[in-house]
Amino acid sequence: MQRACLSCEAPLSDRPSLNTRPIGKQRGNVMPDGQARRSPMRVTNRADKALGDVVPGVRRAIFFDAPEGAAQLSLGAAEIDPGKEIPVHRHRVGEGYVEEGFFVIDGDGEVRVGDQVSPLRAGSFCVMSPAEGFHSIRNTGTKTLRFVMCFAGTGVQMERKP
């Protein structure tokens, strides 16, 4: 039985590698060319970084991105106070746009894409696709809405709808 990619169903042998940089034979933590090899795992704690204000009542921080060694994704956390919302926006990397996914840790809210509104609660997963679509997230509850977000790229910028 041939294994297939879970997302595109292509045979794994036909699917290009996501990490195409050859690393050669490794010797401890140093590559043959003398460059230090980054650890394949990076761990941090939410308490290690303060969330910064986006708009009044909305805070966020990116914990992993290119400066922290991420090559293909960004990972962060956000909080929205009761009755507040992240304005309508999308996520840009260079000349293109990237998808956002998030997981609600605590609180209640709603996500809006165009005319479609979906409720959010602790345990909700959400993916914003297509990447170029504008969306907003609003806290409809009585306590802070907290979620972890992930972007399919590094150096992601929030682009507000004009």
Say what the pTM is.
0.72
Domain 44-160: give its CATH architecture: Sandwich (2.60)
The C-alpha atoms of residue 124 and residue 108 are separated, in whole angstroms, by 10
The answer to whether 103 and 157 are in contact (CB under 8 A) is: no
Question: Pairing relation of β-strands 100-106 and 145-151?
Answer: antiparallel
Task: List the domain boundaries for the chain.
Answer: 44-160
**Max CA pair span of the chain:** 56
Taking only the tens place, the pLDDT of each residue in 24-50 is: 333 343 344 444 446 677 787 788 888
Taking only the tens place, the pLDDT of each residue in 63-117 is: 988 888 888 889 999 999 999 999 999 888 888 899 999 999 999 999 999 889 9
